[in-house]
Structure 1
Amino acid sequence: MDLQIDDDMERSGNTDPATLDLFTHAIAAHSARWEYLRLCLPDVHPFPSIGPPLPFLRELTMDLVNGTDSIREALHAAPLLRTVAVQFSPGHCISVYPWTQLTTFFGYGLLAHECVDILTQAINLVKCNVDLDWADEDVSPPSRNITLPYLSTLILRGCIPDDLPWKLLDIFTLPALQKLEIDEELLQGDPIGLLKSLISRSKCHMRELYVPDLDRRSLEKYRLALPAVGSIARAKLDQFNPWVVVDEMTDYDSDSDSD
């Protein structure tokens, strides 16, 4: 089921609040039959309370600010839920989701402390795609290392403060990691050192490394320094299907020596 009602529709008058309220309540009344759900509602309209359980729900995509608390109990009574994709906004409550049972997570607009809190709990993840929004916040490193024993694919995008007193990759131990895409900015000035440390600490067999927008010389340095990594490219993985490579730049001979 795909329920998407955006702010433009509401402002245009195509969806008046009373009609929208009746519609969302009618949808919620059939929540026990949901398997795949995508919710995108205006900030001004909360989603109605949903009574547990949700016995068949497997995948959930949400762009929803108001009303997340109203579905917390229901989501924690969704035993088959394994995939969650969330556009985070101020006021979004991360405790809504049953992190420990998820195997796939897509998170967009995550603040640093939210990312740390989620990944500390989501110990069964196999695929994770996180777009970080490091706002002006003082974030202490987690009190212990984050070990994700089953994580095979990790995408880390976004920005990071220049003066962050700890290294993002240093908080992870990922023994099953095979495929990593990471923005070079998140490697915090010591990309090869941090990657070597991650691989050594995790004892993982990384097969593919993607660092978008690398120049030719940097790419060759990565390849020389990390010979055990099967493929290193300046490419991106598809954000919704992180096992698919997109926008790969393979014509390295066309690069100028000034890169």
Structure 2
Amino acid sequence: MTQSAADAASGRAVRAADRAHLANVETQILELERSLSSLKEEKEAIRDRLAIYTYPVLTLPNEIVSQIFVHFLPAFPHYPPPIGLLSPYLLCQICQKWRDIALATPALWSVISLSFHKAGRVPQKLHYLQTSIERSGSCRLSLKLATRLDDSYLAELVHMVIDHFRRVEYLDLSHWPAFGFPTDAELSLPFLRGLKLGDYFNAPVTRIMAPVLQQVVLQDFGGLDNSFFPWSQLTAITVEWIRLDGYSYLINQLVNVVYCNLGLCATDQLSLQDVTLSHLETFILRIFLGNHLPPGSGIMATLTLPALRRLQITETLLAGEDDPVNSIASLVTRSGCNLRELSIPDASTAHERYRDTFPSTSITSEALDSDIIVPFLMEWEDEDEESSDSDDEFDADSED
């Protein structure tokens, strides 16, 4: 057989083998296509079953989901952030149904904390505040507002807040030094229970009509009197800075106070009057920024506190007394109280002397945990959320 005949025979054999292999490949393809078709049918059947399945949580009545949402927020007096974790807007990002429920739950939007530290962001924050107030419906409002801007940027904000005073239950302006209360009319806050004010309130301002107000925090007591506050109805008060003459006036007005925390600033010696506070259980008396009372002020000797249970006092306050331990013992004996906790942060006298004198009393150098006693009076760090949240993030999360 010639070479050319051999090559032709070899070619025919290769083509015959390819035709046989092609037939096998086509057979496999048909089998795979039938398997794929079967799998597609199975996939659609599974999708159909899933489509008609309802997750149990989505079968809950809207009213129940709404109550669950309310408990998602941090417990008062902690405030939810305007965006991010623990924000009510987070609940709007799960699904459309939950978004609708969240937006229709007034209590989610009635506790509002905002800082206004950058002028360029004031309009966005105002929009957020206005939207939240509208969504809160008729709920009582708790507002915590802070700013370092001057009044020229905040006139609209002040009016917005004042317009809703009749619904405010707790109002924290402790980091708003110069909130612009109007001065030509009485302000009615019929549901106000707690109020914190900054440093502005030295001059007479509008009389606040707050028949249920019980808890007050002042940065500075600057001669405020009964024309501003109904002191006699308060049950808890903190004043960060108060002169001795202001103390002399104030302490006689607090006839129903249960918790009292005062930071004294020394002034000239005054003749203090005797005072009995029948309901006072927790009394914290501090010296402001290392001041000293005038010798012989006798501040402890003027007090009778029958209900006293917790006392925090500095020995600096007792500098004019012959013996700080005896001064406190005289207060306890005179009052007939059951003193359970005694805190003396700057004690130079050995604690053993206090323990010998008060064997059934817990003696400590640690400050009393006042946050547990009256949570609303807890100190608040002014957290500037602008440092961590961009304008775009705030706008995106606070869209209607």
Deviation at 1:66, TM superposition (A): 5.2
Judge conservation of contact 2:343–2:364 (CA < 8 Å) in 1: yes
Number of equivalences? 226
Which residue of the partner structure matches residue 79 of structure 1?
211
- Distance of 1:145 and 1:130 partners within structure 2: 18
Question: What does 1:80-159 align with in structure 2 at a 5 Å threshold?
Answer: 80-88=212-220, 91=222, 93-95=224-226, 96-134=228-266, 137-142=267-272, 144-158=273-287, 159=290
Q: Is contact 1:109–1:133 with CA below 8 Å preserved after alignment?
A: yes
Gapped runs of 5+ residues in structure 2? 1-142, 376-400
Q: Are positions 1:184 and 2:315 aligned together? A: yes
Residue 187 of structure 1: how far off its partner (Å):
2.1
Partner Cα distance (2:225, 2:251) in 1: 11
d(CA) in 2 for partners of 1:156, 1:233: 15
The TM-score normalised by the length of structure 1 is 0.78
* CA distance, structure 2, for counterparts of residue 61 and residue 101 of structure 1: 16
Identify if the C-alpha distance between structure 1 residues 19 and 67 changes in structure 2 by more than 3 Å, giving closer, same or farther.
Answer: farther
Runs of 4+ in 1 over 4 A off after TM superposition: 239-244
SS of aligned partner of 1:236: coil
1:230 Cα offset (Å): 2.3
Residue in structure 2 matching 1:197, options 302, 305, 330? 330
Contact 2:269 2:297 in 1 (8 A): no
- Give the equivalent residue in structure 2 for 1:253: none
Separation in structure 2 between the aligned mates of residue 173 and residue 184 of structure 1, nearest angstrom: 19
1 CA distance for matches of 2:258 and 2:284?
Answer: 12
- Give the structure 1 partner of residue 364 of structure 2: 233
In the alignment, which residue of structure 1 is the partner of 2:169?
35
Higher strand proportion (structure 1 or 2): 1
Contact 1:102–1:122 (8 Å) recurs in 2: yes
Would the alpha carbon gap of residues 69 and 206 (structure 1) be closer, same or farther in structure 2, given more than 3 Å must change? same
Partners of 1:102 and 1:125 in 2: how far apart?
6
Q: What SS does the corresponding residue of 1:85 show, helix, strand or coil?
A: strand
Which whole-Å deviations, capped at 9, do the CAs of 1:75-103 have from their partners, x for residues lacking one? xx2111000000006x5534422110000
Q: Contact 1:174 / 1:204 at 8 angstroms: preserved in 2?
A: yes
Partner deviation per Cα, 1:123-182 (whole Å, 9 max, x = no partner): 100011111111xx323222x311100000111111554643331111100000011011
Q: SS where residue 70 of structure 1 aligns?
A: coil
What is the distance in 1 between the residues matched to 2:170 and 2:311?
27
Question: Counterpart amino acid of 1:223?
Answer: R
Give the structure with the larger helix fraction. Answer: 2
CA distance in 1, matches of 2:332, 2:299: 14
* Percentage of pairs with the same residue: 33
**SS in structure 2 of the partner of residue 121 of structure 1:** coil
User: Which residue is equivalent to 1:22?
Assistant: 156
Does 2:198 align with 1:63? yes
Please report the TM-score for the alignment, with normalisation by the length of structure 2.
0.52
Greater mean deviation of Cα atoms: 18-27 or 56-65: 18-27
Q: Which secondary structure state, in structure 2, belongs to the residue aligned with residue 170 of structure 1?
A: helix
Using a 3 Å threshold, how does the CA distance of structure 1 residues 123 and 115 change in structure 2: closer, same or farther? same
- Residues 177-228 of structure 1 show CA distances to partners (whole Å, capped at 9, x for unaligned) of 011011121122521110111011111111111111436x70011111222x
SS of 2:188's partner is coil
Shift of 1:242: 4.7
Deviation at 1:47, TM superposition (A): 2.8
The residue type equivalent to 1:129 in the other structure is N
Q: Which residue of 2 aligns with 1:5?
A: 147
Unpaired runs of at least 5, structure 1: 11-16, 245-259
The amino acid of 1:147's aligned partner reads T
Cα distance in 1, alignment partners of residues 186 and 346 from structure 2: 47
Query: CA offset at residue 70 of structure 1?
Result: 3.0
Distance 1:176 1:62 in 2: 28
Larger RCO of the pair (alpha carbons < 8 Å, separation 6+): 1
Distance 1:78 1:23, change over 3 A: same
Q: How far off is 1:240 after superposition? A: 4.2
SS in 1 for 2:160: helix
Amino acid at match of 2:261: N
For the pair shown, the structure with the greater C-alpha radius of gyration is: 2
SS in 1 for 2:334: helix
Q: Measure, in 2, the Cα distance between the counterparts of 1:221 and 1:67.
A: 42
RMSD over aligned Cα atoms: 2.4
